[in-house]
Amino acid sequence: MQNLTRITRTRVAWLVVGLLALLAITVAVALAGGNPGRKEAPASPRLSEELRAAVNPAGVLEHAERFQTIADEHGGNRAAGTPGYDASARYVANRLRRAGYEVTVQRFELPTSAATLDAGLRETDVTGAREYALATDFAPMERTAEGEVRAPLRPVDAGSPTSGCEAGDFAGFPEGGVALLRRGACTFGTKARNAQEAGASAALVFNDGEPPGEVLLGALEEPAVGIPIVGTSAAVGEDLLAREGTSGVRVFVGDAASNHTTNVVAQTRGGDKDETVMLGAHLDSVPQGPGINDNGSGSATVLEIALQLAELGARPGNRVRFAFWGAEEIGLVGSRHYVEGLGEEEISDLSAYLNFDMLGSPNFVRSVYEGPDEVEGVFGEYFEARGIEVETSSALDGRSDHGPFQEEGVPTGGLFSGAGGAKTKEQHEVFGGEAGAPFDACYHQECDDAENLNRRAIDQFSDAAAHATAVLAQR
């Protein structure tokens, strides 16, 4: 009943606004001496201007500093399932609640294997044993079996892209060894089954290609393989290959202390819900560091836009929703959980999803996600009008939290300043900075701290994000 009353009242209010607007347009046309060719102006062209004036780098950086303090107080990181993440989520939720938003904290389970896999490399003479890190160096494949294995490591035709695709590759494989395989040519399931049939107790499949630090996030077609199967980065694969013969590995997939984490979602109390525009950023870091550029920068930007929109008392015609995702770093777990929980109608209510992941890379590029015109164009036109050069990029295609939305047909877009890859000569000519050097030399490392942000990138990107929010919220 309450809802119905509200709808009626809203309609009456719109009718009045409509009549006033008509009157205003008539007067304006009359004053201008009439101009029948002139198009109707957007609802409030000033909202973009006002929001951009209110969203400034100082405000964004204040949240980023806060994320740094939280990491410092909680073991140096803000990874999913850790107290550092939970404290980040509380900070964001409290700020949004105090600003008047309707806030939901959505709790979800981390996939057991992803939450808990732990692995180490141990040399037989004990000196120089190396620990590898979950999410950064390796990740258990989806549907892997659990278990713990300590065994010698044996590369299987690891120089070839067809590594492990045929039973014959395993000729002479020692019973109970851990197979080291290169990605390529056949499915992970085929490699895993061949390894199991050859007597392997576990298998590691390392990534192929660039960037070498990118961890392989694989999935097995069916849970038919009874041994732990883990993906690693190409760098870890090369490292293990170089140490072959002197080392054994420990691979563990099992239970962890905390296997829950959260998403924080806030929305405006008014606005047309059928035209909901959504902004999102992942709030979790990797376990290696505080994650201030990746992705404190995006989280801080989205949070500041939300707070300033409320502060302005703006009442955009469309509902605006802000999401802070958990567990992006272990495979877009939070955003996927959220999207899977939406009904068909709730999906169709989303007019756009904008993603912000890494906005402050020290050696930055200005990338606009490749996407449908209605979203990409908003960013494109904004930068073009200011003579600021951008590149259109599909580099993050499906690799951040817009992926699950994209799969459901929601128009998606976003901004990106570059991750661990190297800046090309061409990018250097357009964006300055250092050619051949990484966009972010601290990507997924301990040094991704509050110093690891480019203020100019934050400034330009937060303005563009504020503009897109204002435009889409009134379209």
Point out the residues that are catalytic.
Answer: 328
**Cβ–Cβ < 8 Å for 234, 212:** yes
Q: Angle 400-401-403 (CA atoms, 0-180°, nearest 5)?
A: 80
Mask for 331-360, x = binds Zn ion (CB under 5 A): --------------------------x---
Residue from 48, 163, 295, 474 binding Zn ion (CB under 5 A): 295
**Which residue stretch of 30-38, 133-141, 287-295, 363-371 sits at the interface with Zn ion (rule: CB under 5 A)?**
287-295
Report in angstroms how near the CB of residue 396 gets to Zn ion at its nearest: 9
Binding flag, residue 86, Zn ion (CB under 5 A) = no
Is 206 exposed, middle or buried (CB count within 10 Å of its CB: 0-12, 13-18, 19+)? buried
Compute the half-sphere exposure of residue 353: CA atoms within 13 Å on the CB side of its CA. Answer: 27
Report in angstroms how near the CB of residue 7 gets to Zn ion at its nearest: 39
Compute the half-sphere exposure of residue 403: CA atoms within 13 Å on the CB side of its CA. Answer: 18
Considering beta carbons, is residue 155 or 280 the nearer one to Zn ion? 280
Distance CA 74, CA 360 (A): 23
Report in angstroms how near the CB of residue 417 gets to Zn ion at its nearest: 11
Report in angstroms how near the CB of residue 331 gets to Zn ion at its nearest: 12
Considering beta carbons, is residue 80 or 165 the nearer one to Zn ion? 80
**Cβ–Cβ < 8 Å for 235, 212:** yes
**Cβ–Cβ < 8 Å for 123, 201:** no
Considering beta carbons, is residue 232 or 295 the nearer one to Zn ion? 295
Q: Are strands 229-232 and 138-140 parallel, antiparallel or unpaired?
A: antiparallel
Considering beta carbons, is residue 248 or 287 the nearer one to Zn ion? 287
Binding flag, residue 214, Zn ion (CB under 5 A) = no
Considering beta carbons, is residue 294 or 349 the nearer one to Zn ion? 294
**Cβ–Cβ < 8 Å for 119, 252:** yes
Q: Please report which helix (H) or strand (E) contains residue 406, including its range.
A: helix 403-407
Distance CA 277, CA 351 (A): 6
Q: Name the residue among 87, 91, 78, 105 with its Cα closest to residue 338.
A: 105
Query: For the chain, how long is the longest CA-to-CA vector?
Result: 91
Mask for 357-386, x = binds Zn ion (CB under 5 A): x-----------------------------
Report in angstroms how near the CB of residue 294 gets to Zn ion at its nearest: 4
Q: Name the residue among 363, 356, 362 with its Cα closest to residue 463.
A: 356
Tokens of 195: 């390894």
Binding flag, residue 263, Zn ion (CB under 5 A) = no
Residue showing tokens 């990029």: 393
Q: Name the residue among 376, 406, 404, 407 with its Cα closest to residue 392.
A: 376
Binding flag, residue 294, Zn ion (CB under 5 A) = yes
> φ, ψ for residue 325 (rounded to 5)?
-90, 140
Contacts of 386 (CB under 8 A, 6+ apart): none
Considering beta carbons, is residue 86 or 294 the nearer one to Zn ion? 294
Report which DSSP code applies to 146.
P
Binding flag, residue 288, Zn ion (CB under 5 A) = no
Tokens of 408: 């459901």
Considering beta carbons, is residue 201 or 295 the nearer one to Zn ion? 295
Binding flag, residue 448, Zn ion (CB under 5 A) = no
**Cβ–Cβ < 8 Å for 191, 206:** no
The strand pairing partners of 206, in sequence order, are 182, 232
Report in angstroms how near the CB of residue 446 gets to Zn ion at its nearest: 16
Report in angstroms how near the CB of residue 256 gets to Zn ion at its nearest: 22
Report DSSP letters for 213-276, one per residue.
Answer: TPPP--B-SSTT--S-EEEE-HHHHHHHHHTTTTEEEEEEE---S--EEEEEEEE-SSSEEEEE
Considering beta carbons, is residue 304 or 357 the nearer one to Zn ion? 357
**Which residue stretch of 257-265, 291-299, 360-368, 442-450 sits at the interface with Zn ion (rule: CB under 5 A)?**
291-299
Considering beta carbons, is residue 234 or 327 the nearer one to Zn ion? 327
Report in angstroms how near the CB of residue 420 gets to Zn ion at its nearest: 11
Binding site for Zn ion (CB under 5 A): 294-295, 357
